[in-house]
A and B are shown apart, each in its own frame.
Chain A
Amino acid sequence: MSGLPRSLVVYTVVMALFLIAPVVVVVVAAFTAGDFIMFPPSGFSLRWFDKVLGDPEFITPLWNSVRLGVMATLISSLLAIPAALSLIRGILPGRRWIEAFLLSPLSLPTIILAVGLLFFTARLGIGDSFVSLLAGHVIITVPYMLRTVLGVYAGMNREIEDAARVLGADRWRTAWYVTLPIIRPGVMAGAIFAFLMSFDEVAVALLLTTADTTTLPVSILSYLVYNYDPAVAAISTIQIAIVVVALLILERAFGIRNVMLTSH
């Protein structure tokens, strides 16, 4: 550590203290044999994992969250990829404004979006809470897809698409055989980010879910209101594990560093 600049030392210590330490506490506490969340835990046991995995109160929301995350990711890919391609390719008037608009959910507090969506969907008469929840998550995840795809596509040699067209490929076949395979790292990275954003989103889910569409973060939150047993630590550990696995796939397949650097 002695070789590191002071500012970096401060940053590392603060990050370790406030970001990693709480996560470590939760994960370690999940393996307790006792009845309360304690650190250090009293004894080692998998009993809380056993309880959580057999409890529909957690398993149903976990499944809801996965389903919601996957669907939101798919829909935002379908929206963001064509948008990103035409933003870069076309000589659109007001290109900057359109891009800023599409990225604006990033700077919008999700609780405001959630309240707005609640009234909006009620007014439209969309009774199905899953549909409105999905719409909310698509809005939140689109910018993540858009940014990574924009980044990768902006760096792609435009002549490669020209070559495909001269060789007889129409627009669709050029996109399918040439553009999409080349920008795939950006698409995959965006998809994983989008999934993670949806997977631990609370504000929109809190306002728009009903009993049977509850997502995992909401169920953890409401469980915490009345309970303080290690079941919460166990389900949180499972959630963290899913996130870590997703990030590992991202790193293994494309190198998170590359993906982050090619983004805007």
Chain B
Amino acid sequence: MTAQPSPLPATSARPASGAVVNIRALRHSFGAVDALKAVDVSIEPGEFVALLGPSGCGKTTLLRCIAGLVLPTSGEILVDGLPITRTPVHKRDLGMVFQSYALFPHMTVHDNVQFGLKMQGIRGDFADRRIAEALALVQMAGFERRYPAQLSGGQRQRVALARALVTHPKALLLDEPFGALDAKLRESMQIELRRLQKTLGITTIFVTHDQQEALGMADRVAVMHDGRIEQFDTPARIYNSPATPFVADFIGQTNRIGGTIRSMNGGRMQLQLDGPDQPIDVAATPGLSAGDRVVAMVRPECVYMASDAAASTSVDISLPGKIADVLFVGEKVSVYVQTVAGTIAASLLNPTRRDNGTMVAGTDVMVGWRKDDLMIFRHA
């Protein structure tokens, strides 16, 4: 009996593969450098988590600690409640996809996928069925006899995924798996991986420095910076309610405006922004007190722009300015406006279709935003 390749073969033989992954106070130091500083993460069964951050933030080190390729200095990693911190790599039963794919160049696609089963002592018909199933899952049935050098980047990626999934691991770890693919292919692989992950229900931890990839694919995103997790939350909350200035700055674009807290009054505070004349009354940020210097941030898509003051009634703060630069990027236009509060970027949805060429550098405009759209943090 041979398994019939189909886009989504029956997975009834698959055990419930969503493991709980807990990371407790994990630290790692390379000599004098602390790559991880007391990281705590709890990942739910079947959850898709992205570790996002700039290079050197510790995200890859964290992933390699979970895989067992890096031994943490202290702390604990638990899979389904069992500590695996000191378990050797080859006994952890995890699947991993590497940035370079790391396929075995001297083995065919079939032998690459077979490797994990062979190491577990699984052979014969059962192994062959599992290999066929894994290759069908990533739509690579029929490529068994090819060598990695005979495959395209996207195909290698699929084989690497099949190789990682064939052993039905407890969790799937991916280290920037789409870094080497071009934009179009990357997008289709992202959709496919997401679909596959949901179908299998496998707990997945994904390292990326690409915020769109992280926000678009993950159930929850852990934003990392300098060896710490700054915020671990849903993509929407990461974007709309960043917990720290770093998260606000790193995710998306922000306009930063300095300010001072004039007074605190119950749940409200008076904020004097650097530039505008009048202080504004906003919801209090916990931990701030009168006299504190703050940085207020507003996303460019929350900035309204109008040709005269009368038009901008829906905003709480409104500043006159002069257009400094216009950047047309297709579906939207970024307009940089010089104001008393510095340069304010406004992101407008394709206004050039209706605009009759008035949006040019040097034009006097009003920019404004609602005070609820301000994200206020203590000045670092």
Contact = CB atoms under 8 A, between A and B. Distances in A.
Nearest to A181: B106
Interface string B80-121: 000000001111111110111011111000000001100110
Q: Is the interface of B mostly helix, strand, loop or mixed?
A: loop
Interface in A123-169: 157, 159-160, 162-169
Interface in B174-194: none
In the complex, which range does the number of interface residues on chain B fall in?
20 to 34
Nearest to B115: A167
B69 interface: yes
A70 interface: no
B163 interface: yes
Contacts of A173: 119
16 contacts: A159-B98, A159-B99, A162-B69, A163-B102, A163-B103, A163-B104, A166-B69, A166-B95, A166-B164, A166-B173, A167-B115, A167-B163, A168-B91, A168-B167, A170-B90, A178-B104
B119 A169 contact: yes
A182 B104 CA distance: 8
B105 A165 contact: no
B248 interface: no
Interface string A231-257: 000000000000000000000000000
A177 interface: yes
Interface in A163-206: 163-170, 173, 177-178, 181-182
Given A159-B98, A170-B90, A173-B119, A164 B69 contact: no
A216 B106 CA distance: 39
A162 B106 contact: no
A212 B73 CA distance: 60
B229 to A, nearest CB: 23
Given A166-B68, A168-B167, 14 more contacts: A160-B104, A162-B67, A162-B69, A162-B89, A162-B98, A162-B102, A163-B104, A165-B69, A166-B95, A167-B119, A167-B164, A168-B119, A169-B90, A169-B119
Contacts of B116: 167-168
A177 B102 contact: no
B202 to A, nearest CB: 15
Nearest to A184: B106
Interface string B40-78: 000000000000000000000000000111000000000
Given A173-B119, A181-B106, A182-B105, A165 B90 contact: yes
Interface in B150-180: 163-164, 167, 173
B163 A159 contact: no
Contact of B106 (A157, A169, A170, A182): A182
A181 B103 CA distance: 13
Contacts of A166: 67-69, 89-90, 92, 94-96, 164, 173
A168 B98 contact: no
Task: Kindly list the 5 A-B residue pairs having the minimum CB-CB distance in the complex, ordered from nearest.
Answer: A168-B119, A159-B102, A167-B116, A163-B102, A165-B89
A178 B104 CA distance: 7
